[in-house]
Structure 1
Amino acid sequence: MSGLPSGGVIPELFHGLFDDAAVFPPGNLPVAEAVPAHRVHRAAWYAEAVGPLLCGAGRLGELAAAAAAAGGPAGAAGATGPAATGGPAGAGGDSRLRVGLVLPGGSAELARALAAAAPFDLAGVELATRDAADAVAELDRLLPPDVPAAVELPRELLRGDDLDAVLDVLVDSPYRAKFRTGGLVADAFPDEAELAAFLTGCAQRGLPYKCTAGLHNAVRHTDPETGFEHHGFLNVLLAAQETDRAAAAEVLAERDGEALAKAVRALTARQVTVIRNSFTAFGTCSIAEPLGDLASLGLLSSPTPPHQEDR
């Protein structure tokens, strides 16, 4: 990236990368606490790195009540202002709570969920399905044209020739793919080869995607408590520019944070654009952890406090 911005500036590589999945496992933050916490993120110096607050279709009523209790209809008082202006809450822009709608029940939930999401600033829809063609058809029929969407299929349907068939359906649509990179059991975490097949399949087609689960740390590692193998989001960012599976898998396997940070610093503006046109975001139940990892690697720094003379 030809050096890094000064303290308090979010590098382009990380803009909107961290979707706020605080209410989902393993964080499971109560909705009533997630709304004010999200507002803090959207008003902070790192607001440009933070995506929408993700919410399942079945919790939209709970979200509306929490948002109203926290500051007016659907969460007024600058819920999205920081993202639009980079300034403090209330600095401008649409003041409704910016929400990403997650539909684990598939297209059958879509019409009702869209109606329930009307009070919010709908940032996107993430629809789980076993039939990509059906999901695309329903999104085409019901989704407002200015709302983006991502389609998630079970990982068992994203292997071998099935992967190519699914990606071919999505590449002819306006929708992103969505891939699950972790969960609450070891089998929920794909290995390097499986993830590399998905990433390079998307890269070869120019198909954007987002990831979800298990990705809130920057570097690939083994969780000391669970023993689960976690991918690092820096690994995925760097692998997103690869079209060769073996090369992508090698990047995904890297466990040296300093090596990854060096590779990030060397990215050109064009490479950053290619990467983020592919890997658009990931859901994380913690915003603090990925920011902390970037800071520890020297890829991000908070604003320098103003100098105060001794009195």
Structure 2
Amino acid sequence: MSSTTGPIPELFHGLFDDAAVFPPGNLPVAEAVPAHRAHRAAWYAEAVGPLLCGASRLGELAAAVAGGAATAGDPPLGVGLVLPGGSAELGPALAAAAPFRVAGVELATRDAAEAVAELDRLLPPDVPAAVELPRELLRGDGLDEVLDVLVDSPYRAKFRTGGVVPEAFPDEAELAAFLTGCARRGLPYKCTAGLHHAVRHTDPATGFEHHGFLNVLLAAQETDPAAAAAVLAERDGAVLAKTVRELTDRQVTVIRNSFTAFGTCSIAEPLDDLAALGLLSPSPLPQEDR
């Protein structure tokens, strides 16, 4: 596996977008802001992406930042805008996010071409964006149609890998179709929801089948749906960890050029999993994140 001079291997740089305010974590915004600042100052900061915030909560976020205890010299808070209401939310959200550094936009839509046009029109050129369509529109020929629209744009795809109900979790074949469709086109993507842990597992409390983020990382280099589905189905953490250790620098680059990030309501859980698998040196995490 590619190594770096810091504690976080290149494979995991910027992988964990901070979705603390979203279900099932539901951390209050006023608590999420200082927690995120602590993540950005911690030994594992290289693994942490922006703080994700829905359009309807940007007022709360502005109040939390204004009333927070930021120290002199702290950089502006990097925020990823999550816009479930589609393109109509884009302009107002960008205006409301003026106090922050907009680190990205995630736009949900039912019309990929319309979303691309609005992003082209309103988004500053240095701000990355991802476009999410409902999973029912990404089945059969619909998947190819959407990915073909996005591959001709500067924007990533976004795919929902879980939620709070069992039907929110795609099976291996459905996720593999998305991953390999993107891989064949050289289209980057991010995932959201359900990837709190490194290895595929059944949640003992809910019975939900969760994909593992290591499974997704390793499947990201596959272009054959059957091969990707087999990687996604692997439940042996030792097998996945061994494969990760054997990755070449080129493979790491290919993987991370494809699978750019995922939203997680806990930063501690994925780091703990990596440490338990021997892929990260254990180090104390902030108490409030446990």
| Most deviating of 191-200 and 58-67 | 58-67
1:226-305 to 2 correspondences below 5 Å: 226-302=206-282
1:128-207 to 2 correspondences below 5 Å: 128-207=108-187
Unaligned runs of 5+ in 2: 285-290
Q: Quick one: distance in 2 between partners of 1:156 and 1:77?
A: 48
User: Are 2:104 and 1:124 equivalent residues in the alignment?
Assistant: yes
SS at match of 2:61: helix
Q: Quick one: distance in 2 between partners of 1:122 and 1:271?
A: 30
Matched to 1:97, the amino acid is L
Q: Quick one: distance in 2 between partners of 1:303 and 1:278?
A: 29
SS at match of 2:217: helix
- Tell me by how many angstroms 1:63 deviates: 0.2
The answer for the alignment partner of 1:21 in structure 2 is 19
| Alpha carbons of structure 1 residues 77 and 294: separation in structure 2 relative to 1, 3 Å | farther
| Alpha carbons of structure 1 residues 202 and 120: separation in structure 2 relative to 1, 3 Å | same
Q: Quick one: distance in 2 between partners of 1:16 and 1:115?
A: 26
Q: Deviations over 1:14-62 (max 9, x none)?
A: 0000000000000000000000000110000000000000000111110
1:13-52 to 2 correspondences below 5 Å: 13-52=11-50
TM-score (norm 2): 0.96
The answer for the alignment partner of 2:288 in structure 1 is none
- Among 41, 53, 63, the alignment partner of 1:55 is 53
The answer for the alignment partner of 1:70 in structure 2 is 68
Q: Quick one: distance in 2 between partners of 1:169 and 1:55?
A: 26
- Among 8, 11, 34, the alignment partner of 2:9 is 11
Q: Is the 8 A contact 1:76 1:96 kept in 2?
A: no
User: How many equivalent pairs are there?
Assistant: 284
Q: Quick one: distance in 1 between partners of 2:14 and 2:277?
A: 19
| Alpha carbons of structure 1 residues 110 and 217: separation in structure 2 relative to 1, 3 Å | same
- Which of the pair has more CA radius of gyration? 1
Q: Quick one: distance in 1 between partners of 2:91 and 2:162?
A: 28
Q: Quick one: distance in 2 between partners of 1:77 and 1:222?
A: 45
Q: Quick one: distance in 2 between partners of 1:296 and 1:5?
A: 20
Unaligned runs of 5+ in 1: 79-89, 305-311
